[in-house]
Structure 1
Amino acid sequence: MTARETFVALVTCFDDAEEIDFRATRAQVRRQVEAGNHIMCAGTNGDFTALTFEEKVRLTEEVVAEAGGKARVIVNAGMPATYETVKLAREFDRIGVDGIAVITPFFIECTQDGLIRHFSTVADAVKTPVYLYDIPARTQNHIEPETARVLARHGNIAGIKDSGGQQATLEAYLEVSKAEGDFDVYSGPDSLVLWAFQNGAKGCISGLGNVMPKVLAEIAEGYNAGDLAKAEAAQAKFTAFRTDLYKLGYPPALVKRSLYLMDPSVGASRQPALPPSPEQDEKIAALLKTHGLV
């Protein structure tokens, strides 16, 4: 059985002036490595849309250096224009990451043929394996399973991160993986980590793992060791907190704020992200206490 692996979509830490706090971000990398998780940086939970080109490059350099080969690092290069996505991907290729994720273009409505051209162009431009990244609720563009099947045949497209939240879509991508081979599926929804492992996913890329890194790692540890009871218990704990927390609003913001209430060094997100309210903080703090996180 192929071992399943857990990645955390790492938060990017900011100081009070909204500058990236690289020292605090490195501390979060160490925390994940110690728990046994790999890293995805500059993703949705990493506020990638609020980062400049130069900041993404330096952030990746810092994260790779801190991981020090103890954990794999995937970085998101996706931007609305193929041109800038390629420029970023080449920088990440130079730095030496383990994978380059490419979120579907946002703002620009794409055809499936357009998506095939976009991803293929990026994959042609670098040596590092490329991972498709589907999150239609945020980009308004969706990688259809048949499009994933076409792209799976590209020699440098290694898999897909599915953050659509629909089990049926995840199942369809898993069917593509089984049929095509050498095309790994990573589950995004935190409630489906164990289910995805049991149904052929190579791993997961989790936002909630920022708050509960050890619990996330335990899902994979239990599954890989054949200890289903351990895996199920960890998944139940993970899902219970997710269910309660995500009732309060936009998940990435809630994850960041939960972590902030545990460790203020992570800072808030850059504007125009909605600033947290005292009322919301009280609710999150109560959940953290209920779930034994503080």
Structure 2
Amino acid sequence: MPSTAFVALVSCFDEDERLNLDATRAQVRRQVAAGNGIMAAGTNGDFTALTFDERVALVEAVVDEANGAVPVMANAGTAATYETTLLAREFDRIGVTGIAVITPYFIACTQDGLHRHFSTVADAVETPVYLYDIPARTQNHIEPETARALAAHGNIHGIKDSGGSQDTLSAYLEIGREAEGFDVYSGPDHLVLWSLRNGAAGCISGLGNAMPETLADIVRAFDAGDEAAAEAAQARYADFRTDLYALGYPPALVKRALWCMDPSVGASRQPALLPDPAQDDAIREILRRYELL
């Protein structure tokens, strides 16, 4: 099967911090042109700053704009199983390709609690559900054995790993090789090619908001068996990641880098990164270095 690069799409806002669906639709078209799939309402999409109704409206707009040209996932995860299930049902109605469910945040979960959480959501919808592990942000981690047990659920079809640990990613990939229909998507931008070589179905990347063509090039070259081109694209992607993320919090910096390229995307909702002229100058210098500006 061809590999799939998803971009964890930014959510766009106007100057009053209201959701700007027209600008978001423009970003959808940009990713479709590059050939990337889309993850809506993820960590790079300011999902924790969106209301329930905004997340529904956002996903409706993204699915409508993509119009079947590329697959669209949407993150339904919240802090509680009840609201996550309600949101997943809305996404099920809208018709996304897959429903990602980030681990609950603020609430300290046992592995049994995580198993119940994901199983309940997967039981409630027909759309394939994908686990989403990002312990640095949620403080809850899906242990590989829990992922293995959940892989046996008839409607849990894979996992997005954004933990950053190659050992954990390797363990998830082993589950993917053993459990039919359980796909692994890597989150760390520097491990896209490594993950593909080790059996990942693709990746879900925030950095692709700023560098969509390079992300797509990694996947296309890998699928074509052009290792030299894949390695060159991965090196460019990883170098850009290192330079940009050295400035601070990655999701906010991706959004700000995109703002420097196209101010219509707006700033992140507060209390995220504030505009800083000195930082914007540093971002623009990086963008020029990579011929993105």
Q: Quick one: distance in 1 between partners of 2:179 and 2:94?
A: 30
List per-residue Cα deviations over 1:142-165 (Å, max 9, x = no partner): 000000000000000000000001
Matches within 5 A, 1:1-294: 2-294=1-293
Query: Aligned partner of 1:180: which letter?
Result: A
3-state SS of paired residue (1:175): helix
Q: Quick one: distance in 2 between partners of 1:85 and 1:110?
A: 15
3-state SS of paired residue (1:236): helix
3-state SS of paired residue (2:79): coil
- Aligned structure 1 segments of 4 or more residues deviating by more than 2 angstroms: none
When normalised by structure 2's length, the TM-score is 0.99
Deviation for aligned residue 1:90:
0.3
Query: Aligned partner of 2:134: which letter?
Result: I
Q: Quick one: distance in 1 between partners of 2:92 and 2:262?
A: 32
Q: What stretches of structure 2 of length at least 5 have no aligned partner?
A: none
Q: Quick one: distance in 2 between partners of 1:189 and 1:120?
A: 26
Query: Aligned partner of 1:110: which letter?
Result: C
Query: Aligned partner of 2:267: which letter?
Result: A
Deviation for aligned residue 1:261:
0.2
Moved more, 223-232 or 113-122: 223-232
Q: Quick one: distance in 2 between partners of 1:92 and 1:196?
A: 28
Q: Quick one: distance in 1 between partners of 2:212 and 2:49?
A: 24
Q: Quick one: distance in 1 between partners of 2:282 and 2:262?
A: 17
Identity %: 70
3-state SS of paired residue (2:131): strand
Deviation for aligned residue 1:78:
0.3
List per-residue Cα deviations over 1:173-225 (Å, max 9, x = no partner): 00111111210000000000000000000000000000000000000110111
Q: Quick one: distance in 1 between partners of 2:35 and 2:97?
A: 16
3-state SS of paired residue (1:159): strand
Q: Quick one: distance in 2 between partners of 1:3 and 1:196?
A: 14
Q: Quick one: distance in 1 between partners of 2:261 and 2:191?
A: 25
Deviation for aligned residue 1:282:
1.1
Query: Aligned partner of 2:70: which letter?
Result: A
Deviation for aligned residue 1:251:
0.2
Q: What stretches of structure 1 of length at least 5 have no aligned partner?
A: none
Q: Quick one: distance in 2 between partners of 1:15 and 1:31?
A: 19
3-state SS of paired residue (1:115): helix
Moved more, 195-204 or 268-277: 268-277
Q: Quick one: distance in 2 between partners of 1:62 and 1:282?
A: 33
Deviation for aligned residue 1:92:
0.4
When normalised by structure 1's length, the TM-score is 0.99
3-state SS of paired residue (2:184): strand
Deviation for aligned residue 1:258:
0.3
3-state SS of paired residue (1:100): strand
List per-residue Cα deviations over 1:65-112 (Å, max 9, x = no partner): 000000100000000110000000000000010000000000000000
Deviation for aligned residue 1:276:
2.4
Aligned length: 293
Q: Quick one: distance in 2 between partners of 1:168 and 1:103?
A: 20
Deviation for aligned residue 1:274:
2.7
Q: Quick one: distance in 2 between partners of 1:217 and 1:180?
A: 27
Deviation for aligned residue 1:243:
0.6
Q: Quick one: distance in 2 between partners of 1:86 and 1:178?
A: 29
